[in-house]
Structures are given as structure tokens and as C-alpha cells.
Amino acid sequence: MAPETNRGVRYDPAALDLVERRFWREIWQSMPHEVTSEHGVELREFGALQVTLTRDLPQVPILNLVLGAPEASAADLEYALAWAEEHGVSPCVPVTPGLPGSARAEQWLQGNGFEHGYAWMKFVRDPHPPRFPAAADVEVVELAAADEEPFGMIAATGFGMPAWGADFFAHLPGRDGWSCYVASIEGQAQACAAMLIEDGVAEFGIAATLEEARGRGCQTALLHRRISDAAEAGCRTLFVETGERVPERPSASYRNILKAGFEEAYLRPNRQRRR
């Protein structure tokens, strides 16, 4: 039987993982070749594993990921992680709990020097209409093409990435299955967010706000719009992820997600080999 939240929302962790893999794969596939070549942006599969690396930003967890660990063999894990280290990267290996191979993957990673790092909380929601207001002075627009608004620039700046990092996100608007948005205040684009829909499941991500607009309701408005659009598209499950709530880290994103009607589904451990 599928797991469910405290309020009875059922979800399939394996299905969420599949959508997440596509989410990151298409970000990598959307990037211009000259950028991937110059900065060591790599995408490769090892059996069930999908590995995305960024040689020039090895310290950014979301840009250096090994996805699919519960389904992978020990040999695939060994080859994939050796390949990553050859590129000078110690990637983050998230392990979704409760899947048939999760305990085996955790055991292998622990036995090979991978320690627990900062974990990510997965949240899920059904498509019921938003029950929270969006700020009246924030306008949300969905982008039809990559050159309409500075989507990539807002994402890269909000995530503290260098200017060339905009290319990770700039070419996503208009791709099949993707919805990309900007939120504007007084006519100025200040925040961005995206949604990928596949087989009735919607993943929310790439939520970033420029520093001068933080605290003004941009991300609440973007959540409101995406929930409404996911419901209109016939989605049955909506999910999003952010870092676990711990005392020394900011939790504005965590609070916004809960306010938007999402529920905590499970905490996903992240393993990384310390250098």
C-alpha cells in the first residue's frame, strides 16, 4: 500500500524519484554545449544511476548529484562514484527511505566512507485549491520562451551562483512538460520558480528571489500559481523539497511550503564522502 501523509494524501516515492531524475536530466540537457564544455558540466548514467556533475562548482550539492541509489547495484555505485572523483567532485548521494534497495544502498555508502550530510525534506500535497492568499502587489507570469524574462539570471543570483550559472535554468521555459514563472513587483522581475509535470505528478523547484525582494510574498505567489496550474492540468500529486529544518539554518522556504498546504512526507538522507 502506498504511504500517506497525516491528512491522508497518498504518494509513491518511486514515482517521485522518477520525475526528479527527469527534472535534473533536462536541466543538464538544456544547457548550451559551449557552457558544459568550459565548466565541466557532465551528465552520465551507470545502470540505474543518473550522475550530474559540475566541475567548476563542486561544492554546490544540487549541481553534483547521484540519483537512483536504491535501485543501483554495488558495481554501479562504485563505477559512478569513481568516475565523479576522477572529475574532482565528491557528489551528494540522496537515498529515498523505504524503497526495496534503500537499506542496501545506505549500507554500501556507509561502508565506503560516505557520511550523512544535510538532509532534504520531501513534501507532498494533493491538488486542492490554494487556501492562502497571494500578495496583491506581486504579479506572476508564465514564460513561453527563454528570452522573455531573466529567469536564469534570477535563479543563479538567488542561489548565489556565478553569472554563467544562469545557463543551468535559462533555457527551460518552453520545454515540453515545463512551466516556468517570474514574479514581479512594480514591473520588475524579482523572483522565479518552475514546475515539471509528468504522468500526473508535478515537481516544484528552482524557487529563488533576489535579495531586495525577499519577504514581500513573491514565493507565496509563485506557490499559489503553480498549485492552481497543476490542478488545472489534472495532477494528482504535487511535491517539493527543501533542506531539513535545523536551528542554525534559515527556514523561510520550509515555512512557505507548509503554509501552501504541503505536508512533510519523509526526510531524505544525503551521503557524501568527505575529502
Q: At residue 1, does pLDDT exceed 80? A: no
Beta bridge partners of 185: 138, 188
Determine the 3-state secondary structure of 53 from DSSP: strand
Can you tell me the distance from the alpha carbon of 74 to that of 134, in angstroms, rounded to the nearest whole number?
47
Q: Which secondary structure element, helix H or strand E, spans residue 141, and what is its range?
A: strand 138-143
Q: What digits encode the pLDDT tens for the residues 157-197?
A: 999 999 999 999 999 999 999 999 999 999 999 999 999 99
Tell me, what's the pLDDT at 90?
93
Tell me, what's the pLDDT at 249?
79
Domain boundaries, the chain: 13-122, 127-235
Q: At residue 113, does pLDDT exceed 70? A: yes
Q: Burial-class residue 63 by CB neighbours within 10 Å (0-12, 13-18, 19+).
A: buried
Q: At residue 250, does pLDDT exceed 80? A: no
Q: Please, what's the b/e burial string for 82-103 (b: 16 or more CB within 10 A of its CB; e: otherwise)?
A: ebbeebebbbbbbbbeebebbe
Tell me, what's the pLDDT at 248?
79
Under CATH, what is the fold of the domain 127-235? Aminopeptidase (3.40.630)
Q: At residue 48, does pLDDT exceed 90? A: yes
Tell me, what's the pLDDT at 2?
86
Tell me, what's the pLDDT at 22?
98
Residues 6+ apart with CB under 8 A from 256: 219, 220, 223
Q: With bands split at pLDDT 50, 70 and 90, how would you rate the model's confidence at 217?
A: very high
β-strand pairing of 201-209 with 237-243? parallel
Tell me, what's the pLDDT at 175?
96
The label of the residue with cell 500500500 reads 1
The label of the residue with cell 531524475 reads 21
Can you tell me the distance from the alpha carbon of 213 to that of 208, in angstroms, rounded to the nearest whole number?
10
Q: What digits encode the pLDDT tens for the residues 4-22?
A: 999 999 999 999 999 999 9
Using CA atoms, how far residue 61 sits from 98, 130, 226, 271, in Å, is 23, 31, 25, 11
Mean pLDDT of the chain: 95
Q: At residue 49, does pLDDT exceed 90? A: yes
Q: At residue 51, does pLDDT exceed 70? A: yes
DSSP-H helix ranges across the chain: 13-29, 33-39, 74-86, 102-111, 151-158, 218-232, 252-259
Note the pTM of the prediction, 2 decimals.
0.96
Tell me, what's the pLDDT at 275?
63
